[in-house]
Each structure stands twice: as C-alpha cells, then as structure tokens.
Structure 1
Amino acid sequence: MNNKTIFFAAGLVCLTPWISSPSALVIGLCLSSLGLVPEDFALNKVTKKLLAYSVVGLGFGIHLQEAITVTTEGIGLIATSIFCTLIFGFLLARAMKLETKISYLISCGTAICGGSAIAALSPTIKATEQQIGLALATVFILNSIALFVFPMVGHALLLDQVTFGTWAAIAIHDTSSVVGAASAYGEQALTTATTLKLSRALWIVPISFMSALLVKNKNGRAAFPYFILFYCVAILVSDYLPQYEFVYQGIFAIAKQSLVVCLFLIGCSISKENMKASGIKPMAFGVILWLLISVLSLSWLLYR
C-alpha cells in the first residue's frame, strides 16, 4: 500500500461521524511523522479552500434572532469578555515574545468560539498550517480539560445553574465542550450556556473584518475575507427561510465534518521539526490566557 492510498483512506475515515476534530488532528500528525503524506499533494491550497467552505456551511447552524436576543441581553458581558481576552492576549504575547499570528489565533479561539474562530480567521490573516495546527492543538487540549474540570469546580463552589452556564459560555473555548460541560451540570445551565455561546459566535464576523484590515497583500491592500460575507448570507438565509430547516441542518452537519477533514490536513502539514522549533510557548500562552479569563469571569459572576 503506497503513501497516496494510506493518505486518502485516512482522509475518508475522517469524513465519518466517529472521528472527532482532535482525533483527526492526531491522525494527520501520525501520517506526517511516519512520512506517509504525498509530497505532490497541495496541502496548503486545499486546506485553505476547505476551511473557507466549512466556515460558510457553519453559518447555516446559527439562528439569527435567537443569537441577537441573547446578545442584546448580555451585550456588556459578552463584549467585555471578548475584548479583555484579546487585549490580555496581545500583552501576554508581547511579554512572552510569542509569534504574532499564533498568539492571535489562540487569543481569538479563547475569546470567541475555539476551533471555529481559528478556522475562520486563519485565511483572513494568511496563517500557515503550522501556525493553525499549533493554535488548534492548544485549544483542543484545554477544551478536553475544561469538559471535566468546570463541572467539578461548579459543584465545589455550589454555583447555581445560570451562573455556571454563563461561566462555561465565557471561559470554555469550543461550543461542543461548552455543551458537554453544561449538560453535565444541569438543564438550565445547558440552555444558558448554549444561547450565550451562540451569540458569541456572531463575533467571528466583525473580528474577521478587523483582522483583514490589519493584513496587507503584496499590493499593499487589505485581504478582504469574502467567505465571511457568504457566512453572513448563510445565517440570513437560514433565518428568513425556516421552512428548509432540514436542508440547513444537513449542510451544517457536512460543514462540521469537513472541518474535521481540515484538521486532518493541518495535522499532515505539521512535522516534528516544526513542533520542536516552536517549543512550549504556544501551549503556555494558551494555558495562562485561559486561566486568567476563567478566574476573572468567575470572580465577576460571584461578586457582581
């Protein structure tokens, strides 16, 4: 069995619902480490296009009116947590002398919605697969920890359902982990966490446009993120034509699975040499930023 056969077989496996995002990343890393990735495969080009298509598809899973309602009710808390995370991330990255794009992706993943935010912002700031992979790996590891630690802390501090749901929505990166932690805590916590996290996902749009303005192409012009416009169109279409909900859910499911394939491709592009060269700084940065936001948000919720 040659490299191409193994590579494409692994890619097909990642299309199945039994492979999660972290698992796909690990599979890709294993193939890269074993030298089983075809050298003539345009990883960079395929990954960026698939990322953009996946982000557009995810837009069909967001219900605009529900997100706007929740955002209106908690706009102060949501906006403050996002901008504080980005500011803390910027200052911490400078203090640690961490590579700019990696720190920005981790900061945005922490501030907005984990892997989805990283996937949306990566093409906008022209991040490399190495930078994307390190950011995603950091977020996925912390997500896994949060899934178990947050409910334990919540029970230890006797947090009520609404307080825990709000804290989980603010301090846990990915929506899947937010839902997992909140559902383990209680039904009301799940409802609160899900709706708040949904409204935070909308911040991908303005953050992407602002990021594009900061990144110039070879002609000195801003790289306009056209795929974000289609992401907005997807949200609007699914909201104003609700009779086709079954179609939107199908597109959303496909988009989520294609994002898993993206992570497989990203893993394939990361080598041991690159990982060693990057060191432990990205992970240390992600942990410090995550702990800072988790503690500050919980403190505010407890003593407001």
Structure 2
Amino acid sequence: MDKAQLISKTQHRLSELLDKQISYREIVFFIVAALCFSSFISPPIALLLGLVVARITGHPYLHLNHKITHILLQVSVVGLGFGMNANTALQVGKEGFLFTVGSILFTLTLGWLLCKALKIDLKTSFLISAGTAICGGSAIAAVSPVIGAKEKQISVALGTVFILNSVALFVFPLVGEWLHLSQNQFGLWSAIAIHDTSSVVGAAAKYGKEALQIATTVKLARALWIIPLAVIASFVFKTQKVKVKIPYFIGLFVVAMLLNTYIPQVQYVNGFIVNLSKIGLTLTLFLIGSGLTGNVLKSVGLKPMLQGVILWVSISIFTLWVILSFYS
C-alpha cells in the first residue's frame, strides 16, 4: 500500500468515526440523566423529565431500557435496605399482612368482574389485575409466561400499568398532604395502592423517611405473592409445566437490613449507600419515563385502560378508607 492509499484509507476511517459521533438526542439524554444525580431532582421530577425526553427527542437506547431499569431498580432497593431496621420492618410486615392479602383478593376479584363486564381478553385482563394487585410490571413479567401470554397482551398490560403508575407518583403525595396522612398511613397506602416498586419508593421517599421504610418493606413483602399467584394461574390457565421466577433480590434486601441492624460497622457506610440508592431510584424513574413512547400509549386501548383505571381508583379508595379507619 503506497502513501497515497494509506492517507486515503485513513481519511475514510476518520470520516466513518465522525459519522458515528454522539447524536443530538444522545447528548440531550445524557445531560438530563446526569441531572438525576443532583439533590435538586426528586423522583417525580425525574419521571417528568423522562416523559419530556421521550416526547421531544426520544430514548436513544430504548431497546436496552427495560433490562437496565430492571437491574437498576433491584440494586437500588437492596441498597435502601441498609437504611432500615429489621425489627421495625418485621413489625410493619406483621401489621400489613392481612391487609395485603385482603387487598390482593379484592383487586383480583374486581378484575375478573370487569373482564366479564367489559368483555376484555382474559389473559390481558388477568395481567392488568395481577399488576395492580401485587407489583406492577414485575408481576406482569413473572405471570405472563406462566399463562402463555402473547407479546401484544403483555405490552397492553404493561402500558396500562406504567401510565397509571406514573400518575400515582405525582397524585399520591399531594393527596397524602391534603388529608394530613401520617408517615405510617402514607407508607402503607402507597405500598398497597401504587403499582410498581419504583413509584412506591419514589412517592414514599418524597413524603418522609418513616414512610419510605414502611412502604418499601410492605411492598417487597407484597411482591412475594407473585409466587402463589403464578402457581394458581398455572392451574387456571392449564400451564403447570412452566417455571415460576422467584424475585431473589428481595432476599438481598433482607440481608442488607440484617447487616444494618446487627453489624455496628455498617453504620459507617450505610448513609452513603442509602444516598447512592436514592440516586439510583431517581435515575430509574427517569429511564421509565423516557421509555413511555407514543407506541406504548397507543398500544393500550380504551377497555384495558378503563379496567386499569377502575381497579386502581377502587383499590386506592378502599385501602385509604381502611387506613383512615383502623391505622394511626
């Protein structure tokens, strides 16, 4: 290869590299994502920024978004365990056990009735009910292979839950302040009536430290109901051979709580870990918001959204009434 050819090839290679430089929407995405590391950006604001980015420039890495948010949320939740006391969490879990069981049964029963009344596809309806009853997208992801749900059915259920989940993150703290709910009351209410763990933790973190501890503990205990629900669903939909995915990160959350409670040396680093976890949660909500594209919104449809809204409003009002009546 002579000198002229070498220069020509080098110029061509440089041209290719310049063509592959970071695009405008990638620059915007990274700048806004970096803002989530600031203490000025709360979880609701992060979600709102994500929605704005999704609408204006779009998510440049949308194909990776689900996996990244899934991992980041789990790591952040485990980190929050380093700021919690195991004895307090055990007491909260005992108090919320019957309430949790009752609310799950209430939601699933109402979901079945709405499925019949609105004439919605059975599997889509069941996924929406499971997501509302237990833990949003995580429940839908766990139950969908068990019942043999198709991609369209899963996307409709996820879209419904994610939209309402986003609304809840803004509405719940406002309602809590308006009704002067205590930290205990709000933590319990948000854990039961908000779909996804991300928005539960985000709303509770905005409300207060005690509300965050109660909400996270009750929500993760609630998430364990994915297992019996999936087993029952396998018999109802006659797919018993499918394996149920166990949410192992909940075990790591418990380990983090135990370390924080019984190992004194952890006290030196727990504050740093918790703060880092809150940043991770804020970034998670930004990514969730930026993933709510127009296609997600269009995929839902009127009847599934109507079922989701009725279920969500019903469980929110019912649990709020119970909390105001029996919990101080």
Check whether TM > 0.5. Answer: yes
Structure 1 runs not aligned, ≥5 long = 109-116, 156-160, 184-189
- Aligned position for 1:201: 219
- Aligned position for 2:98: 76
- Aligned position for 2:82: 60
> Is 1:169 aligned to residue 164 of structure 2?
no
- Aligned position for 2:168: 142
Alpha-carbon distance in structure 1 between the residues aligned to 2:168 and 2:317: 15
Contact 1:54 1:258 in 2 (8 A): yes
- Aligned position for 1:228: 250
User: 17-26 or 203-212, which moves further after superposition?
Assistant: 203-212
Letter in 1 for 2:171: I
Letter in 2 for 1:107: A
* RMSD value, Cα: 4.1
CA shift in 2, pair 1:95/1:58, >3 Å: farther
Structure 2 runs not aligned, ≥5 long = 1-22, 145-150, 195-199, 235-240
Q: Give TM-score, length-normalised by structure 1.
A: 0.69
- Aligned position for 1:254: 276
CA shift in 2, pair 1:125/1:9, >3 Å: farther
Larger radius of gyration: 2
Letter in 2 for 1:3: R
Contact 1:64 1:236 in 2 (8 A): yes
Alpha-carbon distance in structure 1 between the residues aligned to 2:67 and 2:206: 33
- Aligned position for 1:21: 43
Residue from 133, 149, 158 that aligns with 1:107: 133
CA shift in 2, pair 1:178/1:82, >3 Å: farther
Contact 1:59 1:231 in 2 (8 A): yes
Contact 1:32 1:269 in 2 (8 A): yes
CA shift in 2, pair 1:288/1:234, >3 Å: same
CA shift in 2, pair 1:106/1:205, >3 Å: closer
Letter in 2 for 1:289: L
Counterpart mapping for 1:1-304 below 5 A: 2-38=24-60, 42-73=64-95, 75-89=97-111, 91-92=113-114, 95-96=117-118, 97=120, 99=124, 100-108=126-134, 117-118=135-136, 121=139, 124=142, 134-149=160-175, 152=178, 154=179, 166=185, 169-170=188-189, 173=194, 174=200, 177=203, 197=215, 199-210=217-228, 220-279=242-301, 284-297=306-319
CA shift in 2, pair 1:29/1:244, >3 Å: same
Q: Give TM-score, length-normalised by structure 2.
A: 0.65
How big is each residue's C-alpha offset from its partner over 1:18-42, in whole Å with a ceiling of 9 and x where there is no partner? Answer: 2222322232232222334325873
Alpha-carbon distance in structure 2 between the residues aligned to 1:225 and 1:301: 28
